Structure 1
């Protein structure tokens, strides 16, 4: 239908309308990608390269590339696509969508083709701390950056920036794990667990708080501690205290009942 439009202006208006209608609808994501490619080609012909690149980056096509026959029948290209999928998913900021995609990628049977990348993926899925120096740098840096069969994602100046972004993602993952088990932690201990210098740790934590990644954290600089739980309102604290007292009395009553029964049986 698009190709049958009488002129270029009408054609592009139809394309823009269809792209607007199909936005966010996963069952037509491939068709929307084709429409976007038409817009990108037009922008490239007009010399608007940056605008075209931004438009491509907005696409959220998850399976179209890997499922194409050209990729599926070529083992080397399949490996490259899988590696790139893993790395770019890890580099993405942590959201519900990113976490969902991360878990779906981990279920792909084809990940057996890239066991090292699957291992890196599992580090982020496991609810455990990841050591940047002892695990990522010592074990996986040579695999991710310095091999002939690498992806090239971490090469050059842009690659160095992505490597720093990966460090940030590891730190964010570790911060989520720490906030699960700590209510309060000192600056020194937090820097040790995050594998950050003390000065970098504070700026990193401030950035997480500002962006909303860790919403309840509060920094107390005079005491050099970080509170990782939101302060409860007085009424909420009172309700919690009342519930705890009720549970305590119920437990005591059960103990007394057992004691009476035991005494009755003995005597």
Structure 2
């Protein structure tokens, strides 16, 4: 061991200041009374000061073992008297002495040894863990750093009063695993920590931790767990002014999840929340990209009540309309989907759209597989919109003419009509059509929903009556058979 007073080496006994000033705040962070230390029965502060000064001289003389024995003897008395301040000073001084001597093996040996002593005070454990965690930042040797992390995690395991420190250590270890390329191991480590149950962790840190869990799950492509973890964050909580960056990060991860699921409507809703963020509103580049994404993903979503309502609000709602005025290409794009006129394909502004960096990113962002092509999806949405428009003006139309209006072959037009009839159950106006293939005619019949419902209710009533009659006859037959057996 070198002398603790060497140039550049921290004084091992300066830990007394930290123990005096920080421990009380750490141990009284709103913990349950069961996690607090009993009241001290005797004050060992003077004895602790004296033995630490004596130990410092012994260390300078190279008498390490004797210094440790002296401090541990007083530590035992202080611990039995529940003097948290003095106990904390002593055990921190012991471990710091080994740390300054570059003996990490002793550090890793004494940390669990001191924290697991009988009736060890919680305040002392917290202080010691906090002290050792500060060394992790300074440690350049990766193997020594990982060994110290493992030691500290073994101490924090199962102790509620150091659950926050345990979570931080897990995060540091996960970062190390990820840096080594082992994303699966990093994700597994982070998933084990249920920070949403930690009453002592600051809401900002807790949110960051959950976002890190989401990020690792997405990196691992564990989309099911990503969705489960996302439910742990309250959207109202991250709407606070000091959490805008976390809000943007949260919705960024949700967009990635929804795009993988092919849920463009949910992705659009995320960009609505992003546009509502003051930081985005104040930055032209941010709101322009968010607005473009909102428009594109809304157009890519299937035609439902929600989709039709949103695209009309984008066109008419004052806040969105003002933003669209500054994006003429996207304003023209939205106008096509709210006007009952056929949309040509390729789109009139397709060249401008493909030249836009945000559009290129939106169309290629988080594709589910190599075969997915969002331009093809957009084409299908345009065809679907055109079919709704045609339905407004025709009761019957020849398939050849329909294909011409849609810019498709007869077979392709037939396929699109069939798919839209199947998928339009959630539409704002159900798309109904009957195809006469021999005649090559499509009939757009308008269904009276009230009549359909009345017919359904009548059919259900008839079925229930028939079931009642069958039940009656079965019971009657059972009674007849029973009476015959008695005879």
Whether TM exceeds 0.5 here: the answer is yes
Q: Secondary structure at the match of 2:337?
A: helix
Segments of 4+ in structure 1 off by > 6 A?
A: 35-38
Name the CA shift for 1:43/1:110 in 2 (closer, same or farther; >3 Å). Answer: closer
Q: Which residue of 2 aligns with 1:119?
A: 332
Q: Structure 2: 5+ residue runs without aligned partners?
A: 1-29, 32-159, 164-191, 199-205, 231-253, 259-265, 453-487
Q: CA offsets, 1:112-163, max 9 Å, x none? A: 1211101010000011111114xx0xx2111111345645223599597110
Q: Which residue of 1 aligns with 2:419?
A: 207
Task: Write the mapping of 1:7-26 to structure 2, written as runs, cut at 5 A.
Answer: 11-12=195-196
Maintained 8 Å contact 1:145/1:152: no
Query: 2:213 pairs with 38, 42, 48, which one?
Result: 42
Task: Write the mapping of 1:166-245 to structure 2, written as runs, cut at 5 A.
Answer: 166-212=378-424, 215-230=431-446
Q: Which residue of 1 aligns with 2:304?
A: 95
User: Whose relative contact order is higher, 1 or 2, with alpha carbons under 8 Å and at least 6 apart?
Assistant: 1
Q: For 1:231 and 1:92, how far apart are their aligned partners in 2? A: 24
TM-score (norm. length: structure 2): 0.38
How far the C-alpha of 1:209 sits from its partner, in A, is: 1.6
Maintained 8 Å contact 2:343/2:386: yes
Maintained 8 Å contact 2:325/2:331: yes
Q: For 2:312 and 2:281, how far apart are their aligned partners in 1? A: 21
| 2:345 aligned with 1:132 | yes
How far the C-alpha of 1:64 sits from its partner, in A, is: 2.8
Maintained 8 Å contact 2:275/2:290: yes
How far the C-alpha of 1:212 sits from its partner, in A, is: 2.9
How far the C-alpha of 1:45 sits from its partner, in A, is: 3.8
* CA RMSD, Structure 1 to Structure 2 (Å): 3.6
Q: Which residue of 2 aligns with 1:144?
A: 353
Maintained 8 Å contact 1:143/1:150: no
Q: For 1:100 and 1:174, how far apart are their aligned partners in 2? A: 18
Q: For 1:122 and 1:53, how far apart are their aligned partners in 2? A: 36
TM-score (norm. length: structure 1): 0.66
Maintained 8 Å contact 1:144/1:154: no
Q: For 2:330 and 2:359, how far apart are their aligned partners in 1? A: 11
The structure with the largest alpha-carbon Rg is 2
| 2:296 aligned with 1:80 | no
Q: Which residue of 1 aligns with 2:9?
A: none
Name the CA shift for 1:196/1:38 in 2 (closer, same or farther; >3 Å). Answer: farther
